[in-house]
Amino acid sequence: MSRDAHIKYSPQEIFQRIDLKKSLSKTAAQENDEELTRKRIKISDFTFYLKNVRDTFQNWQIPSEFHLGDDFDFQQYPPDKLLRFQNYDPNDNSFSNIKDRKIHSLTDIFQQYPPDKLLRFQNYDPNDNSFSNIKDREIYSLSDIEEKVKSKNKIFIGNSGIGKTTLLKYLTWIKSNECLKYQNTLIPVYIQLKNFGLNNSLQSLILYSFAEKGLNISEVQFRDYLSKNEFIFLFDAYDEVQEEYIEDLQHEMVQFFDICKQKSHKIIITSRNIRIPRLSSSSRFYVCPLDESQIQELSRQYLDNDYSKFCYQIQIKGLQKESQNTLLLTLMIIIYKKYDLIPTLRTKIIKKVVENIENWELNKPQRFKPVLSWEIKIDILSELALESAKKHETLSLTKEETNEIMFPIIEHYERSREIPSRIERKSLINNLISTGFIYENINGISFWHTAFLEYFASKSLAEKYVENPAIIEEIKARLWWKFIIIGAAGFLKDSTTYIESVLKTNLYLASSCLLESKFVDCDLVNKIKSELTANCESSIYEVRQRGIYFLSKIEEEYPSGLLFKILDKNPYSDIKQIALEEVAKNKTEKAKKIVCSFIDWKEKVTFVEQTTTQGSVAKALSNFGEDEHLMIIDIWKKNTDIFTSSACREAFIDIVRRNQLTEKVKEKLYNFYLEPREQPFLVDKSDLAKVIIEIGNVTFVPKLIQNLKHITDEEKEYEFLWESEGILASFESNDVIEQLISYAIDKNQSNILRGYCTGALSKSKGKVDILIFKTLAEDDNLLVRRNAIHGLRKYPALEVKEILFRHINDEDGWIQHEIIEILGEKGLLIELVENNRLPIKFYNITVEAYLKQIMKYSLYKLIPTLNELSSIVKDNNRLQIQIAETYCYLSEEGKAKKIIENFYDGDKFIADDNILYDMINIAPSFDLPYSLELINQVLKSVNTLEKKYTYEYWCSEALGKIGGIDSVEYLKKIVEKYGSEKDGILIERVFRSLNPLVSTKDEDWYINFLKLHTDISDTDLNRVIEGLGGIGTDKSIKIIREIAQSYKDNKYILNVCFRSYENIMFSSGKFTNVKDEDLFL
């Protein structure tokens, strides 16, 4: 639908005029002054501490000691710009995420990148998997989580290098700034949990964090501050606590949570998924791998127009998975920028970084000769890394342990006179710190990132393996050691016996080692290939996918034609698809003939595969010439499903990046895009537009504009218009900008053409003079005005302020909405109010935008206007509830509850669907008891059984956000009541909320539920098994195997059984590949 369809042309006027003199009268001004004074007093004891925190965490991206050289420049990327988050799923494991996981976002990409801008999140869901299910969980940015998820305690789980520590450091910096500007009184405390141990309790670490930043307080004072002040505790790296202390930490965390939940304190914990904190009343989120668009945007920041060549290098070298990791991607970009190449494997990427630091160290001017040579530093770091891994499976060592490891090495070098005798320990440590790989902490030393510990530990492990091959026997089945074991293979001259030992435990780990190795005996290579080939015929989808993934990688290094045989004989279409794509990369006549023989191959697609046979044929054809590229367009025209369309897009983008797109194919693509469609919305327009943007040829612009001139039905052609606007906006050419301006200002052109040309200017990557938007904002064409106002977002606050203030009274509600949002982003909303410039006519959507900005930027100063709004819109129930939510967000729960009380009819809520639905949505904003009371009252107020069923569905979703033991019990009661239902809608929804909240103590309840309800639907069963995968033990494995045996022909149930079985193994630290025979009885 067009954007006009989203607004009534005769909007309800909520009020004629806000009496700002009243709402910001002397009394209100006094309230503001009093509020400011209250905040100043509240944080007065912490001012010096907060200034030190702000200064310390100003460089939040990487440690200041880490230096890649003078020609390398790390740029800071706010996590709220880059990262995405979803419900966390413990059944997502390292090998199941083989394919590029595409997370589709409505907002197509970000323009700047601190971590809060860079990261995106999902609600934690104990059973996310890479292949099954189109994502049914909402995708969040960091600001979304702050606005929508009201739980005070949040846990962020993600892979090493994705940006968890960066996120916490960035938040610490942001919150300290907010406090010092009196925008907030939530005092940040950043704590590294890796330091928790025998003499360091949780409280002592918190007190140390204060003392380190200049605030020395006693335990008694801290308890007093907890009762009077508000804190946000940011606990980093739960997974790095030493194993022997984890139960103590868990116990102390539970106690600390109990203390904090009585007040307004907030807690954030980060961890890798090798160890998940199980804490009640917590919302858990998975930090998603970067998707294709994020990778491109981050690359563009460093490489400008060379980013497409870099992305092509990622694709041809098979580094898609590595590029989804924020740290590895950044390092790859920096290496590519200097050397114009990317190493092919993770270990080699880190090695290249280490070599560059070495070169920088050796070439920088030095007044004195270093105490330790680079070789000795690496020797010591390698020993420290391996011992840290062996002793604790963490990044840290105590001072005593460091001395115990380091001094024998130093004595050896002293005896050989490679270093001076009797060097002080402090001097040695400083020499090691100067490399940037380690730093000193409260206990001893720590590697600043897991990737570097793994690299150095790999080097040492390889050296020790040569002396004692038995060294890997105890560690090869430990999940924590995975990358160390893989890396060590690359340091050995001959890895044959090493890999033979690993193969006995884990086929996929052995395959990874093989890919890292310098030399391996051919018989062993063939043996591994044989076992992987057998896995390609497994009835379990994920086992097959892992088999073909590693087989394809090994065939690249050790070609044997095996993929041709698989393509001929394998019974599974998903395996043949990948084999076809890989065979085509040979680019031989034989490969072309085989690919062309599959041109009409079309088998049914399922949501498990998320690919199509026709899509794979298109990708395979991209490896050949013009005739085959034209065939891809024919495939695209016949198959407009999202998966085939996406595959055709990827195929053509690769062709463009290889500079192999001919003029004939280009013209056919252009014509394909411009062809009229029978349906108003087709996925291929969006994918086609991305290809045309990648082509970047300005000669297409006149043809596209001519086509736009003839469009008269905006609603019917909305998708085409929207994508065309994006194409026009992608050109930085001044010539294109001038064409767009000429059509936008020409009133003889159609309203549609003028509006979308203005829209393209508003999003343009080129330079557009602000006077153009200032002029167009006065236009009588509504679409032109809207887009002109939108275009002001890209300019500084001082340049747009007066223009925005001037147009705040536009008769169009969406323009008011846009202006309020821009004013909020630019920090001008308070000035608008203080200058008495709020709109004379306020529309619903304007009020909604106003409330959203107040919450988004914690504009406590505008609380008096809420008081006025609340009385004026008293007849608009939905806005009243939104005002209550805003009060709650600003810690004014009393005022929020007062509004809620107006909707009671006796002991129940007014039986209005909108009111009840809004009450469910607002419930998680309040404290736990009141949240549950609201849910109770909603269900009590529902009239019919049919409606109660629907409301219990919505309430289940809310209870998942509220969290806590009470919510768990509530959800259990709902699902037990409907346990005999077979349609699965409510049961599945309840378990989706329940799974992230439960712990191992709920395992028996899950098992009993399965025994009592043997007739539940496949969808329900899927969710219950997922829950067991997150909390189960050996007794759950028995149940899972029984289910797998009964559902041998159901690939959905079989896959979730496999993932849950494997996750239970991983949770116990065991790193072994589960085979078909393990899963079936």
Of 3.40.50, 1.10.730, 3.30.460, 1.20.1250, the CATH number of 56-289 is 3.40.50
Least confidently predicted of 28-42, 262-276, 427-441, 1056-1070: 28-42
DSSP 3-state of 425? helix
Half-sphere exposure of 952 (CA within 13 A, CB side): 23
- Residue 141 reports pLDDT greater than 50: yes
For residue 387, the Cα-to-chain-centroid distance in whole angstroms is 32
For residues 176 and 188, is the Cβ–Cβ distance under 8 A? yes
Q: Kindly state the tokens that stand for 877.
A: 């129930």
User: pLDDT band for position 12 (50/70/90)?
Assistant: very low
Mean local confidence (pLDDT), 776-796? 95
Q: Which residue has the higher pLDDT, 362 or 543?
A: 543
Backbone angles phi, psi at 562, to 5 degrees: -65, -35
Burial class of residue 349 in the structure, from the number of CB atoms within 10 Å of its CB (0-12 exposed, 13-18 middle, 19+ buried): buried
- Residue 149 reports pLDDT greater than 80: no
For residues 412 and 418, is the Cβ–Cβ distance under 8 A? no
Alpha helices in 942-1017 (DSSP H): 945-962, 965-977, 985-994, 1003-1012
- The Cα–Cα gap between 683 and 675 comes to 14
The predicted-structure confidence for 79-102, as pLDDT tens digits, reads as follows 777 888 876 655 544 333 333 333
User: pLDDT band for position 3 (50/70/90)?
Assistant: very low
**Residue recorded with tokens 């899950």:** 1006
Residue length, the chain? 1081
Nearest one of 1019, 1029, 1009, 1022 to 983, comparing CA atoms:
1019
Nearest one of 848, 851, 847, 805 to 826, comparing CA atoms:
805
pLDDT score, position 572: 93
- The Cα–Cα gap between 334 and 73 comes to 8
User: pLDDT band for position 683 (50/70/90)?
Assistant: low
Nearest one of 691, 720, 719, 699 to 708, comparing CA atoms:
720
Cβ neighbours, 10 Å, residue 182 = 17
Least confidently predicted of 10-19, 341-350, 750-759: 10-19
Q: Which residue has the higher pLDDT, 584 or 367?
A: 584
How high does pLDDT run on average in the chain? Answer: 85
Beta strands 266-271 and 444-447, pairing class: unpaired
Helix (H) or strand (E) holding 905: strand 904-905
**Residue recorded with tokens 């505008």:** 862
Cβ neighbours, 10 Å, residue 1003 = 19
The predicted-structure confidence for 896-924, as pLDDT tens digits, reads as follows 999 999 998 888 888 788 899 999 999 98
For residue 587, the Cα-to-chain-centroid distance in whole angstroms is 36
- Residue 944 reports pLDDT greater than 80: no
pLDDT score, position 461: 97
End-to-end CA gap in the chain: 53
CA-based radius of gyration for the chain: 30
Residues 1033, 1034, 1039, 1044: is their CA dihedral positive or negative?
positive
pLDDT score, position 906: 83
CB neighbour list of residue 774: distance below 8 Å, 6 or more residues apart:
788, 803
- The Cα–Cα gap between 564 and 147 comes to 53
pLDDT score, position 604: 75
The predicted-structure confidence for 274-314, as pLDDT tens digits, reads as follows 777 877 667 788 898 888 888 888 888 888 878 888 888 88
Nearest one of 318, 258, 297 to 112, comparing CA atoms:
297
Mean local confidence (pLDDT), 226-241? 91
Q: Kindly state the tokens that stand for 502.
A: 């690993």
- Written as one string, the DSSP assignment of 273-337 is TTS----TTEEEEEEPPP-HHHHHHHHHHHHGGGHHHHHHHHHHTT-HHHHTSHHHHHHHHHHHH
234 strand-pairing partners:
190, 268
- Residue 369 reports pLDDT greater than 70: no
- Written as one string, the DSSP assignment of 1037-1080 is HHHHHHHHHHTTT-HHHHHHHHHHHHHHHHHTTB-----HHHH-
Mean local confidence (pLDDT), 394-404? 84
Q: Which residue has the higher pLDDT, 776 or 29?
A: 776
pLDDT exceeding 90 applies to what percent of the chain? Answer: 47
- The Cα–Cα gap between 148 and 140 comes to 9
- Residue 115 reports pLDDT greater than 50: no
446 strand-pairing partners:
396, 439
Most confident of 148-152, 392-396, 432-436: 432-436
79 strand-pairing partners:
117
- The Cα–Cα gap between 19 and 702 comes to 51
The predicted-structure confidence for 507-521, as pLDDT tens digits, reads as follows 999 999 999 999 999
pLDDT score, position 93: 44
- The Cα–Cα gap between 1023 and 628 comes to 44
SS3 content of the chain, % helix, strand, coil (to 5): 60, 5, 35
Residues 967, 969, 973, 978: is their CA dihedral positive or negative?
positive
The predicted-structure confidence for 698-753, as pLDDT tens digits, reads as follows 999 999 999 999 998 888 888 899 999 999 999 999 999 999 999 999 999 999 99
- Residue 171 reports pLDDT greater than 60: yes
pLDDT score, position 88: 67
Tell me the CA distances in angstroms from 465 to 455, 459, 495, 506, 940, one per residue in order: 15, 10, 10, 18, 67
Residues 316, 317, 318, 319: is their CA dihedral positive or negative?
negative
For residues 172 and 373, is the Cβ–Cβ distance under 8 A? no
- Residue 124 reports pLDDT greater than 50: no
Mean local confidence (pLDDT), 529-555? 94
Mean local confidence (pLDDT), 632-654? 93
- Residue 881 reports pLDDT greater than 90: yes
User: pLDDT band for position 24 (50/70/90)?
Assistant: very low
- Written as one string, the DSSP assignment of 481-497 is GHHHHHHHHTT-S--HH
Tell me the CA distances in angstroms from 101 to 113, 128, 129, 289, 609, one per residue in order: 21, 11, 10, 8, 11
Residues 837, 838, 842, 843: is their CA dihedral positive or negative?
positive
pLDDT score, position 73: 64
Q: Which residue has the higher pLDDT, 934 or 1074?
A: 934
- The Cα–Cα gap between 438 and 316 comes to 34
For residues 130 and 98, is the Cβ–Cβ distance under 8 A? yes
